[in-house]
């Protein structure tokens, strides 16, 4: 069975990449002791901690980390009435960290994710691999059977069009998990003891026009290219659905990336997911979503964005409009969600005015 690496097995890189260009965003309700394991890899970077739940509770962070911490009172103070778009009592609150960051790149991780080991027993620097994924192009228009042609030891195979070999900018790097798989509640219930021990040494671009189930526990993205689309929706307290926050963000983000000619990669890096959540609690959260997704996914598969949607913000506002028009028949919740999507963009633009470090969602 796969085991997590220990802090002593994790060796810090000689020169941390993008040290001043990347923030690590962590949603939490508990003390962040798990950071000790990640110290060799995370300590050079700035952390944004989004505290969920009771704002009067004190969250302890190990010494030596550079961080800022926001609780619900801070979110309400900074966003005012627009704070209604940020979920409460749900890890979807992490997207507030994306909004207040001023860095080009974001890496987000859950506090039950530990350092994994590769088949040789070496501790995996997940952040380093995400950076490699983001800094190399994607190939969404034609599938390469050797997967990512920009990795060491790989290339474009015979028959791959030379006109497409330059690739496109990578907006999203989606990592995977050893030990506890990211299963929905029904699958958890029928496979309670299943663990993922398979380490697949591969990174691939998700083809244009193909959706995927995005998991937010081991995820990195280029905030300048796609940040405004990384809204994790309305989940948790007061909402009829949970555990679909990252799914919603993934569907929206993929549609926007396809429209703007940006890439999404999945595969490496792995983290060690240490704790299985309660399947009965999960079922209560997911129940409506399990039915709704059978209509939501065809909606996204059929969504076409107009040519004048040339920025992420314009794409997202158009998506919100289509959500309201076409998904409100599924449940009134989607009217509320569509309005929150617009509020999210308004709040994003207030905190990230044009001319700041964010490029308004255009590929450079």
Q: For residue 210, is pLDDT > 50?
A: yes
Please tell me whether residue 219 adopts helix, strand or coil conformation. strand
Least confident of 5-19, 34-48, 296-310: 5-19
Element (H, E) at 21: none
Whether 337 and 330 have beta carbons less than 8 Å apart is answered as no
Query: Tokens 């700041």, residue?
Result: 356
Rounded CA-CA distance 330/334 in Å is: 8
Rounded CA-CA distance 232/96 in Å is: 9
Q: Determine the pLDDT at residue 8.
A: 58
Rounded to two decimals, the pTM is 0.95
Rounded CA-CA distance 241/248 in Å is: 12
Could you tell me the fold of the domain covering 22-351? Spore Coat Polysaccharide Biosynthesis Protein SpsA; Chain A (3.90.550)
Rounded CA-CA distance 256/303 in Å is: 10
Whether 177 and 196 have beta carbons less than 8 Å apart is answered as yes
Q: For residue range 317-332, what is the model confidence (pLDDT) as tens digits?
A: 999 999 999 999 999 9
User: What number of other Cβ atoms are within 10 A of residue 247's Cβ?
Assistant: 23
In the chain, where the domains are located? 22-351
* E strands in 110-202: 113-114, 170-179
Task: Please give the share of the chain, as a percent, with pLDDT higher than 90.
Answer: 92
Q: What is the DSSP string of 13-71?
A: PSS-TTTTTEEEEEEESS--TTHHHHHHHHTTSEEEEEE-S-TTSPPP--TT-EEEEE-
Residue 205: which of 296, 300, 139 has the closest Cα?
Answer: 139
Least confident of 12-26, 47-61, 178-192: 12-26
Q: How far apart are the first and last CA of the chain?
A: 44
Q: pLDDT category, 276, cuts 50, 70, 90? A: confident
Average pLDDT over all residues of the chain: 95
Please, where are the H alpha helices in 198-278? 223-226, 245-260
Element (H, E) at 303: none
Rounded CA-CA distance 285/295 in Å is: 18
């Amino acid at each position: 069975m796969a085991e997590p690496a220990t802090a002593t097995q994790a060796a810090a890189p000689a020169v941390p990449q993008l040290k001043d260009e990347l923030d690590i965003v962590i949603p939490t309700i508990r003390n962040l002791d798990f950071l000790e394991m990640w110290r060799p890899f995370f300590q050079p970077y700035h952390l944004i901690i989004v505290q969920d739940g009771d704002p009067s509770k004190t969250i302890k962070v190990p010494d030596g980390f550079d961080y800022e911490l926001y609780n619900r009172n801070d979110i309400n103070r900074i966003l005012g009435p627009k704070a209604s778009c940020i979920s409460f009592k749900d890890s979807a609150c992490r997207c507030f960290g994306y909004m207040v960051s001023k860095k080009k790149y974001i890496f987000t991780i859950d506090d039950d994710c530990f350092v994994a080991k590769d088949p040789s027993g070496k501790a995996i620097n997940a952040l380093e691999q995400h950076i490699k994924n983001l800094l190399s192009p994607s190939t969404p228009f034609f599938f390469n059977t050797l997967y990512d042609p920009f990795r060491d030891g790989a290339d474009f195979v015979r028959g791959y069009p030379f006109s497409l070999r330059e690739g496109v900018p990578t907006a999203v790097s989606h990592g995977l998990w050893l030990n506890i798989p990211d299963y929905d509640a029904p699958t958890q219930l029928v496979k309670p003891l299943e663990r993922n021990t398979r380490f697949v040494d591969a990174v691939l671009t998700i083809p244009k026009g193909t959706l995927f189930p995005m998991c937010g526990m081991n995820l990195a993205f280029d905030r300048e290219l796609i940040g405004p689309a990384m809204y994790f929706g309305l989940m948790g307290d007061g909402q009829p659905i949970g555990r679909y926050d990252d799914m919603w963000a993934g569907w929206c983000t993929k549609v926007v990336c396809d429209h703007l000619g940006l890439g999404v990669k999945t595969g490496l890096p792995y983290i060690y997911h240490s704790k299985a959540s309660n399947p009965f609690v999960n079922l209560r959260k997911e129940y409506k979503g399990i039915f709704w997704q059978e209509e939501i996914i065809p909606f996204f598969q059929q969504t076409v964005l107009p040519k004048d949607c040339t920025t992420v913000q314009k794409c997202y506002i158009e998506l919100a409009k289509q959500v309201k028009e076409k998904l409100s028949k599924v449940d009134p919740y989607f009217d509320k969600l569509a309005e929150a999507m617009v509020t999210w963009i308004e709040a994003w633009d207030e905190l990230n005015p044009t001319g700041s470090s964010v490029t308004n969602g255009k590929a450079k």
